[in-house]
């Protein structure tokens, strides 16, 4: 008798819990406000057409973050094994650490290996666009309050 009362009690609790919970709507499953069954296309945007000669460095997101590319790069990509236009301007070891307006900043020391006393470009960094990206004015998909302190 005691056992069946307990069973009825447990069943009542489970039934009440099931009634209280409701399925998660398909537009409430993530940060996106659209249904998971929709396939929204991001709005089209253009990168700025700034030529390298007119570019000025953009603020860094944080100390030692990869600097953002402040000029257009369409004529310099794709970067292939045998072709890297970026280094024709930015591979200037004698200018490391020197910044002059209108002159491409040299890649920093971290991008070179020292071999027999000479600075040699580190092949691990060959694909510059892996870390350095041009910037466009695009609305954030999810708002955030990040501010650079640089
Ligand atoms: C024709 C020369 C030229 C080419 C080619 C070129 N750049 Fe630049 N780049 C510049 C100049 C000039 C600036 C502006 C001065 C500066 O801040 O270095 C600049 C700025 C930058 C900066 C900002 C540096 C900083 O300290 O904030 C980055 C990053 C950069 N370029 C990356 C690239 C990448 C990646 C490529 C290849 C996809 C590339 N550049 C190709 C000339 C060039
Ligand atoms: C693995 C990521 C990565 C790759 C790949 C990479 N960089 Fe960088 N780059 C960085 C970071 C991080 C910094 C800033 C910190 C530092 O100085 O090392 C930087 C800094 C720079 C700077 C600014 C130097 C200064 O003194 O202000 C230039 C210019 C640059 N990189 C050019 C290039 C070019 C050109 C390539 C391709 C040959 C390249 N980088 C590949 C991560 C990368």
> Per residue in 8-27, pLDDT tens?
767 766 655 555 678 899 88
Burial class (CB in 10 A: 0-12, 13-18, 19+), 73: middle
Say whether the peptide bond before residue 147 is cis (omega within 30 degrees of 0): no
Of the CATH numbers 3.30.200, 1.10.1130, 1.10.287, 3.90.320, which one belongs to the domain with range 52-130? 1.10.1130
> Which is higher by pLDDT, 124 or 10?
124
Closest Cα to atom 3 of ligand 1: 89
Residue whose C-alpha is closest to residue 69's, from 88, 84, 48, 83: 48
Rounded CA separation 104/125 (Å): 18
Å from CA of 65 to ligand 2 middle:
9
pLDDT at 141: 78
Name the DSSP letter for residue 74: G
Quote the pLDDT of residue 73: 97
Q: 115 CA to middle of ligand 1, Å? A: 25
Q: How far is the CA of 97 from the centre of ligand 1 (A)?
A: 14
Neighbours of 105 (CB within 10 A): 16
Nearest residue (CA) to ligand 2, atom 5: 125
How far is the first Cα of the chain from the last one, in angstroms, to the nearest whole number?
Answer: 73
Q: In this structure, is the dihedral angle defined by the CA atoms of residues 80, 86, 89 and 91, taken in order, positive or negative? A: negative
Tens digits of residue pLDDT in 53-83: 999 999 999 999 999 999 999 999 999 999 9
Closest C-alpha residue for ligand 2 atom 41: 128
| Residue 69 buriedness (CB in 10 A; 0-12 / 13-18 / 19+) | buried
Return the pLDDT at 14: 66
Q: Which atom of ligand 1 is nearest the CA belonging to 76?
A: 38
Query: Does the beta carbon of 89 sit less than 6 angstroms from any atom of ligand 1?
Result: yes
List the domain boundaries for the chain: 52-130
- pLDDT tens digits along 93-106: 999 999 888 899 99
Mean per-residue pLDDT over the chain, rounded: 88
Which contacts of 79-82 are long-range, i.e. CB under 8 A and separated by 24 or more positions? 79/126, 79/127, 79/128, 79/129, 81/126
């Amino acid at each position: 008798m005691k056992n069946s009362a307990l069973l009825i009690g447990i069943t009542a609790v489970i039934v009440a819990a099931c009634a209280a919970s409701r399925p998660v709507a398909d537009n409430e499953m993530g940060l996106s406000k659209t249904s998971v069954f929709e396939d929204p296309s991001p709005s089209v945007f253009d990168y700025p057409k700034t030529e390298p000669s007119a570019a000025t460095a953009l603020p860094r997101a944080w100390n030692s973050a990869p600097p953002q590319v402040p000029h257009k790069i369409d004529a310099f990509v794709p970067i292939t094994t045998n072709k890297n236009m970026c280094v024709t301007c930015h591979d200037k070891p004698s200018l490391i650490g020197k910044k002059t307006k209108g002159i491409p900043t040299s890649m920093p020391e971290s991008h070179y290996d020292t071999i027999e006393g000479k600075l040699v470009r580190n092949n691990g960094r060959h694909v510059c666009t892996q870390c350095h990206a041009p910037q466009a004015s695009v609305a954030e998909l999810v708002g955030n309050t990040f501010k650079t302190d640089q």
